[in-house]
Structure 1
Amino acid sequence: MREYSVPVLVDVPASANLTDTVFQRAEQEPGAIVLRRKVGDDWTAVTAREFRDQVAAVAKGLIAAGVGPGDRVALMSRTRYEWTLVDYAIWSAGAVSVPIYETSSGDQVKWIVSDSGAKAIFVELGSHEETVREVLPELDGLEHVWCIESGAVDELAASGGEVADETLEERRSGPGTADLATIIYTSGTTGRPKGCRITHDNLLFTARNVANGPLELLFTVQDRAVLLFLPLAHVFARMIQIVLIETGTVLAHTPNMKNVAPDLQAFKPTFLLGVPRVFEKVYNGAEQKAVAGGKGKIFHAAADTAIAWSRAEASGGAGLGLKLKHALFDKLVYGKLREATGGNLSAAVSGGSALGDRLGHFFRGVGIEIFEGWGLTETSAPSTVNLPGANKIGTVGKPFPGVTVAIADDGEILVKGRHVFNGYWNNEEATAEVIDPDGWFHTGDIGELDADGYLKITGRKKEILVTAAGKNVAPAPMEDAIRAHPLVSQAMVVGDDRPFVAAIVTLDPEALEQWKASNGRESATLAELSADPAIVAEVQKAVDDANKAVSKAEQIKKFVILDIDITEESGHLTPTLKVKRNIVMRDFAKHIDELYG
């Protein structure tokens, strides 16, 4: 078994918990700006003391409402200032937070609230409150429903005036590293979500070792600031939130994905957190805008130059000719792309799925370096991440300090470290299935470690397809390659027990609007476009590109383009945009059978 370890960089004392930094910084740097809150069109500064005072007030309100030490409090909201405020207030009351995606259905809310035994829930919007009220009769233990948009946070803060400071401090400082901080439910791609028990140590150990280790340079630049738009209910954004609070990096939020572009220009972040789909859309949008403006050739030449320059820099440096071309396109193209993100952005962190070599090199060539990492909810988000100055594009980096990664004989990635969760809530049987007697967490992902300790993900163990001819096929790399095409929304490779590998593809509605305008097909329906020879030819190009990376036996022989998109709303994607394979296989069985007709 091949393994690679990185020594611990920062220890965390047993008495520490996640609220310490908030309360200590308020005393040490009371005027330091730690967050910015959007009020109207303006970004209002929130100082360390102001944030601490608001956290303390809401925590006192929770105590006055009867929330006790260790009680679970759910939080269902989009990414916004109050998410962070309430999260830290729950911890300051000595309680445990349970995030719920704002897109969750009534059944999903009922399961998470009932399974976690939540005593109270914060919801953001009236529609969220309606969802909770619908299932409230079946939730015997739920005593409070507080709606953020209805002013419940301010009311709760005002209601705790009788709670003494000493009582709050006793509650706040009571939990130590071994105590439960949050229960985060998995996305549920293969069944009912499981609650991951995440301790204060899991989160603090990870945050401090990442921030002082591989990503230290991102948190030491002048006027550092981050705009969060990914769901804080997901462990990835949640961990970054904690890193930002721990490092004093200015944090802001945008709850609406449609506002990301203008908010980036107004807020001017120094680095960004994203998933591959976000970076794909940035690239595709820039490409389509250039083509529509008659500058497609210039853009494609600039993109090829950025990629070539990045590859050359990774292998000894670009030659004079390439440097001159790169400098020219920096003025014509790259500078405008950077300006679209606010002008200060030079780095980003990507996770969730594979970014792909081409995008990684493109953005580095443009001047925005993306550091890809990897992890799961069970590992408190990251287990590996690439490093500034040692970014090996195409990998998910090396273990961060205090983590050991190993590759089992069957290719499964195993992990050890203090960032590994302490088991599934109310499900010891499932816990025993993933943590072996030697303490290794079995991730379910398949991968490879190179000689320098960099990890490459090659598939998901449960998603490996075995064709009728006995060929093992990892679908994820091919799916990622197909999804990189601007017209493609989703792709799912099939072929289990079938004679050959095939794929289901859906089209991106936003990209189609631009395509229709550029091709004189404004009135065409999605059903018509899914069978349009020009569209089919474009998808065939994406499939051909994906096939280049695999053996002949693994190549996609046929595909079908659906006349609908598969989305979270349709029930086919998780909130983190992972495909629910079993649901897609069930709902589109007829289409799959026709591929093999």
Structure 2
Amino acid sequence: MESIYIKFKEVAVKHQSRPIVYWRKNRHWHHIHYKDLLLLVDYLAENLSAQGIKQGDRVSILSENRPEWLISDLAINKLGAVSVPIHTTANQPLIEYILNDSASGFLFVSEACLIKYESFLVLLKERKPDLKIALFDDSYVLKTDWQKNYPSIILYSSLIKKTSVDDPVVNELASIVYTSGTTGEPKGVMLSNKNFIHDALASTERIPVMPSDKFLSFLPLSHVLERTAGSYIPILSGASIAYAESIKNLPENLREVKPTIIISVPRIFEKMQEKIFAKIQLKGHWAKKLFFWSLRQKPGTPGKRIADILIYRKIRKLFGGHLRFAMSGGACINVKVLKFFKNVGVKIAEGYGLTETSPVSCTNSLENNKIGTVGPAINGVMVKIDSDKEILIKGENLMMGYWQKEDKTREAINEDGWLKTGDLGFLDYEGYLTVIGRKKDIIVTNNGKNIFPERIESLLNLSTAINQSLIVGHKKDSLSALIVPDLEAISQKYSGVKVDLQKLIEDEIVKVNEQLMAHEVIKKFHLLDRPFTIENEELTPTLKIRRHHIEAKYGGVIDGLYR
């Protein structure tokens, strides 16, 4: 049986002198080579073993993306233990739930998370005296009373000291990944070594990754999309990873790192397009005319080549100027966004999957990229459509089941081994999958019309005046919208001019309504004074709307729209 660690070691020996990870500290980028990171993994594994960690034990990681996250994950894997990632945006009850449900006896924590959750971690240590906590950063602990008050706290630096190195232990179960979910109690998805390895290697068969590639990692490693596509794919390909400081610093980090590959979610691309168009609106008449002229040029024409020199290259430089391709997953991306970036020379391959499928199940290739689809199934994976249009998946990437929830596993996977995804879609004659929406998110109006709100929200969110939106109207006569205006973009566009915000958004909705069928038209809307956030449990870590949570939160506002 193979493990992620064993596959990684094979690559590390082959590419030992190549950089594997980059990170920014004190305004400078640092890096470490494959051979040195392998040593740190081996030392950490042996020192964790000395702490009592053995095959099958669960070890949690609460940290932002950084080299120590990867090193810890691989060391846990080498011991045959099970890694349990926790989102850095998780609330305290969720963190405690995950630690208790997984029975994690060891927890890695970064300095940022220690500061954020300090009082909670103190309380947690009192409630769970046997829980061992290891801190990635020494400086904060040494300058505070943490170690004096809690001598059982372990410094990460003490766990990577040179020691003898033993052979790896292989365990079937590699990780328990808790789905934040858009509804209900979190479920621990059990993913095996085989799941991760197959998914990573089959994905690179569809879109090859080379040792010369450099990934910029900014989605949370606690999410399985970044874990597989942004971590395991590069390290099993001999490529390198640069860890972004934060989403906020993403534009700067893109320019500095100059990645060849990024893994992202639709909202990032949508916001980038919005900002490009917002900047164009601030330009003079001729600059605007030139920009929109450039978008009309046909491939292979002299006009296209001129447009590339004058316009497109500047847009590509926003991604660092060396991007080979970007991968989009986590949700469906607006076709208009894909066409815009394709037009300016930014290749985006859209894929599809779930945490339960490790996650990649389908993806477009760069050569045969059908915009509007998520591509055909990768090797070793089968996709079919059920009688009610639900997407079913079966294959080597399918989870082992839900941790300690056999009833939920039986509900999710039918007797023939097909996972019921909860998504609706269809396959074309070439096997390319189109996803049309979540089954549970369908809005059924009083006149019996079925409406997929994601498509309408995606159109609204393309407006530079709109930051976020939520469509409502289940069992109502018409649709309404909760709108979060983009006040920053509006103030830039109308600098020094008094704006009637209500009228401005109303005009934007009229434009969207012109693209919709009669039963999809938005009749009313309400402006919200703050954005949907992960911290307020309104978004998932990959920026998907937690629809039912928001509807419950703003129930009074929504009712008011139908009075």
Which residue of the partner structure matches residue 226 of structure 1?
215
Deviations 1:533-579 (A, max 9, x none): 2233224323444x2xxx32233332222233222233322222222
Deviations 1:330-368 (A, max 9, x none): 111111111232211131100111212111111111111
Which residue of the partner structure matches residue 541 of structure 1?
511
Identity %: 33
Separation in structure 1 between the aligned mates of residue 212 and residue 312 of structure 2, nearest angstrom: 23
Q: Is the 8 A contact 1:57 1:158 kept in 2?
A: no
The answer on 1:237 being equivalent to 2:226 is yes
Q: Is the 8 A contact 2:43 2:162 kept in 1?
A: no
Which residue of the partner structure matches residue 158 of structure 1?
158
Which residue of the partner structure matches residue 446 of structure 1?
424
2:410 to 425, 428, 432: 432
User: Taking structure 1 as reference, are residues 258 and 282 closer, same or farther at Cα in structure 2, changes over 3 Å only?
Assistant: same
- Letter of the 2:518 counterpart: K
Q: Is the 8 A contact 2:443 2:473 kept in 1?
A: yes
Bigger drift between 25-34 and 425-434 goes to: 25-34
The answer on 1:423 being equivalent to 2:401 is yes
Which residue of the partner structure matches residue 47 of structure 1?
33
Q: Is the 8 A contact 2:15 2:238 kept in 1?
A: no
1:263 to 253, 269, 284: 253
SS of the aligned residue for 1:504 comes to strand
User: Taking structure 1 as reference, are residues 384 and 508 closer, same or farther at Cα in structure 2, changes over 3 Å only?
Assistant: same
Separation in structure 1 between the aligned mates of residue 55 and residue 96 of structure 2, nearest angstrom: 23
User: Taking structure 1 as reference, are residues 160 and 279 closer, same or farther at Cα in structure 2, changes over 3 Å only?
Assistant: closer
Deviations 1:267-314 (A, max 9, x none): 11112111111111211112222222326x6457535744x56xx6xx
The answer on 1:520 being equivalent to 2:497 is yes
Separation in structure 2 between the aligned mates of residue 57 and residue 324 of structure 1, nearest angstrom: 58
Separation in structure 2 between the aligned mates of residue 160 and residue 49 of structure 1, nearest angstrom: 15
Alignment of 1:115-194 (within 5 A): 115-124=101-110, 125=112, 126-130=114-118, 132-133=120-121, 135-136=123-124, 139-140=127-128, 143-150=131-138, 155-159=155-159, 164-166=164-166, 169=167, 172=168, 174-176=169-171, 179-194=172-187
Deviation at 1:140, TM superposition (A): 3.3
2:291 to 302, 316, 319: 302
The answer on 1:97 being equivalent to 2:83 is yes
Alignment of 1:358-377 (within 5 A): 358-377=336-355
Deviations 1:375-395 (A, max 9, x none): 110011111000011000111
Q: Is the 8 A contact 1:118 1:141 kept in 2?
A: no
- Letter of the 1:407 counterpart: I
2:283 to 290, 293, 303: 293
Bigger drift between 335-344 and 112-121 goes to: 335-344
- Letter of the 2:241 counterpart: L
Which residue of the partner structure matches residue 474 of structure 1?
452
- Letter of the 2:331 counterpart: S
SS of the aligned residue for 2:309 comes to helix
Q: Is the 8 A contact 2:23 2:244 kept in 1?
A: no
- Letter of the 1:443 counterpart: T
User: Taking structure 1 as reference, are residues 565 and 452 closer, same or farther at Cα in structure 2, changes over 3 Å only?
Assistant: same
Which residue of the partner structure matches residue 3 of structure 1?
none
User: Taking structure 1 as reference, are residues 594 and 129 closer, same or farther at Cα in structure 2, changes over 3 Å only?
Assistant: closer
User: Taking structure 1 as reference, are residues 593 and 26 closer, same or farther at Cα in structure 2, changes over 3 Å only?
Assistant: closer
SS of the aligned residue for 1:456 comes to strand
User: Taking structure 1 as reference, are residues 132 and 20 closer, same or farther at Cα in structure 2, changes over 3 Å only?
Assistant: farther
Which residue of the partner structure matches residue 206 of structure 1?
199
SS of the aligned residue for 2:456 comes to helix
1:408 to 357, 373, 386: 386
SS of the aligned residue for 2:4 comes to coil
Bigger drift between 285-294 and 533-542 goes to: 533-542
Q: Is the 8 A contact 1:60 1:161 kept in 2?
A: no
Deviations 1:464-495 (A, max 9, x none): 12111222222121122212222222221111
Deviation at 1:204, TM superposition (A): 0.3
Separation in structure 2 between the aligned mates of residue 509 and residue 95 of structure 1, nearest angstrom: 48
Separation in structure 2 between the aligned mates of residue 342 and residue 447 of structure 1, nearest angstrom: 35
Q: Is the 8 A contact 2:482 2:527 kept in 1?
A: yes
- Letter of the 2:68 counterpart: E
Separation in structure 2 between the aligned mates of residue 513 and residue 73 of structure 1, nearest angstrom: 47
Which residue of the partner structure matches residue 69 of structure 1?
55
Structure-1-length-normalised TM-score: 0.87
- Letter of the 2:315 counterpart: L
Q: Is the 8 A contact 1:26 1:52 kept in 2?
A: yes
1:491 to 457, 469, 476: 469
Separation in structure 2 between the aligned mates of residue 154 and residue 26 of structure 1, nearest angstrom: 28
The answer on 1:384 being equivalent to 2:370 is no
1:111 to 81, 93, 97: 97
User: Taking structure 1 as reference, are residues 142 and 366 closer, same or farther at Cα in structure 2, changes over 3 Å only?
Assistant: farther
Structure-2-length-normalised TM-score: 0.92
Separation in structure 2 between the aligned mates of residue 131 and residue 193 of structure 1, nearest angstrom: 24
2:66 to 70, 74, 80: 80
- Letter of the 1:32 counterpart: R
User: Taking structure 1 as reference, are residues 21 and 128 closer, same or farther at Cα in structure 2, changes over 3 Å only?
Assistant: farther
- C-alpha RMSD over aligned residues: 2.3
SS of the aligned residue for 1:481 comes to helix
User: Taking structure 1 as reference, are residues 572 and 110 closer, same or farther at Cα in structure 2, changes over 3 Å only?
Assistant: same
Separation in structure 2 between the aligned mates of residue 130 and residue 509 of structure 1, nearest angstrom: 34
1:579 to 542, 545, 555: 545
Which residue of the partner structure matches residue 56 of structure 1?
42
Q: Is the 8 A contact 2:444 2:474 kept in 1?
A: yes
SS of the aligned residue for 1:401 comes to coil
SS of the aligned residue for 2:447 comes to coil
Deviation at 1:39, TM superposition (A): 3.5
SS of the aligned residue for 1:263 comes to helix
Deviations 1:62-119 (A, max 9, x none): 1122212111111111122222122112212321111111111111111111111111
Deviations 1:437-485 (A, max 9, x none): 0000000000011111111111111111211122222212112221222
Q: Is the 8 A contact 1:303 1:362 kept in 2?
A: no
Alignment of 1:310-329 (within 5 A): 318=299, 323-329=301-307
Q: Is the 8 A contact 2:11 2:235 kept in 1?
A: no
Which residue of the partner structure matches residue 568 of structure 1?
534
Which residue of the partner structure matches residue 10 of structure 1?
none
- Letter of the 2:87 counterpart: Y
Separation in structure 1 between the aligned mates of residue 398 and residue 267 of structure 2, nearest angstrom: 27
Separation in structure 2 between the aligned mates of residue 162 and residue 150 of structure 1, nearest angstrom: 18
Runs (5+) with no aligned partner, structure 1: 1-14, 313-317
- Letter of the 2:497 counterpart: G
User: Taking structure 1 as reference, are residues 162 and 564 closer, same or farther at Cα in structure 2, changes over 3 Å only?
Assistant: closer
User: Taking structure 1 as reference, are residues 487 and 141 closer, same or farther at Cα in structure 2, changes over 3 Å only?
Assistant: farther
SS of the aligned residue for 1:146 comes to strand
Q: Is the 8 A contact 2:135 2:155 kept in 1?
A: no
Deviation at 1:256, TM superposition (A): 1.4
Separation in structure 1 between the aligned mates of residue 524 and residue 34 of structure 2, nearest angstrom: 57
Separation in structure 1 between the aligned mates of residue 290 and residue 435 of structure 2, nearest angstrom: 30
